[in-house]
Amino acid sequence: GAGVSQSPSNKVTEKGKDVELRCDPISGHTALYWYRQRLGQGLEFLIYFQGNSAPDKSGLPSDRFSAERTGESVSTLTIQRTQQEDSAVYLCASSSQGVVEKLFFGSGTQLSVL
Amino acid sequence: QQPVQSPQAVILREGEDAVINCSSSKALYSVHWYRQKHGEAPVFLMILLKGGEQKGHDKISASFNEKKQQSSLYLTASQLSYSGTYFCGTASQGGATNKLIFGTGTLLAVQP
């Protein structure tokens, strides 16, 4: 595709429900990042995938958060038993070679937990 | 681990200059700069790799001092379109991964 695509663009859910967020990176990009951005705040690193290497999960805030990536394509971020503090914009970014090349960001998923 | 940016916010008149600083407690391999406008995704400005390089395009340039573990973004003759929040992202040397950690952000408002 022309850019990084994220879906859904908006998600409203009830506290305690599970949600799945999807990211389609730019074709051929081996590096994929997930970030969380709370209202008026900076970009909080969640997880990083690079090719077939084991992902860096060091930014996941709790065991309710998990992410998968199939090869060098689609990634899904799953939040189980959502809490109100999970409300934020979840941004996905991809890059052709990790931190030596620029990141292309998707438009994000606005998650609202009621 | 998160780089620290300063100032937190700055207000300029069109045509004025600004400097945004990014400082890390870790040895750095690369520094990225991005600008995010309200309600939009961050957009890439430039990357600087270790070696103390400087880069620039148009009236926006940056420097990277790896000894001081610092980078600075220079905006000259600011335009209204420069308004937004500027983030630096840093990748540290060593370790098994190359994750990019973003700073706290600097809000820049350019007024007519």
What residues of A are in contact with residue B105 (Cβ under 8 Å)? 41-42
Task: Quote the longest CA-to-CA distance of chain B.
Answer: 47
**Domains contained in chain B, CATH given:** 4-111 (2.60.40.10)
Q: Within 13 A of B101's CA, how many CA atoms are on the CB side?
A: 19
**Average pLDDT over every residue of A55-72:** 93
Tell me the average pLDDT of chain A.
93
Distances (CA, A) of B112 to A81, B12, B17, B39: 47, 9, 14, 22
Q: Which fold has domain A5-109?
A: Immunoglobulin-like (2.60.40)
Compute the distance between CA of residue A47 and CA of residue A59 in angstroms, rounded to an integer: 6
**Average pLDDT over every residue of A98-106:** 82
A3-12, A24-33, A103-112, B94-103: range with lowest mean pLDDT = B94-103
**Average pLDDT over every residue of A65-90:** 95
Characterize B65-77 residue by residue with b for buried, 16 or more Cβ atoms within 10 angstroms of its Cβ, and e for exposed: ebeebbbbbebee
Compute the distance between CA of residue A11 and CA of residue A111 in angstroms, rounded to an integer: 5
| Interface residue of B100, B104, B106 to substitute, partner A, most A CBs within 10 Å | B100
Look at residue B88 in the predicted model and tell me its pLDDT: 96
Look at residue B10 in the predicted model and tell me its pLDDT: 96
**Average pLDDT over every residue of A78-84:** 98
Share of chain A above pLDDT 70, in %: 96
B30 vs A58: CB contact, 8 Å cut-off?
Answer: no
Pick the residue from chain B with its C-alpha nearest to A109.
B41
Backbone φ/ψ region at B50: left (φ over 0), alpha (ψ -120 to 50), beta: beta
Look at residue B96 in the predicted model and tell me its pLDDT: 45
Consecutive sets of 10 residues in chain B, 112 residues long: mean pLDDT of each? 93 96 89 92 89 72 90 94 95 69 94 95
- Looking at the complex, report in whole angstroms how far the Cα of residue A65 sits from the nearest Cα belonging to chain B: 18
Look at residue A114 in the predicted model and tell me its pLDDT: 96
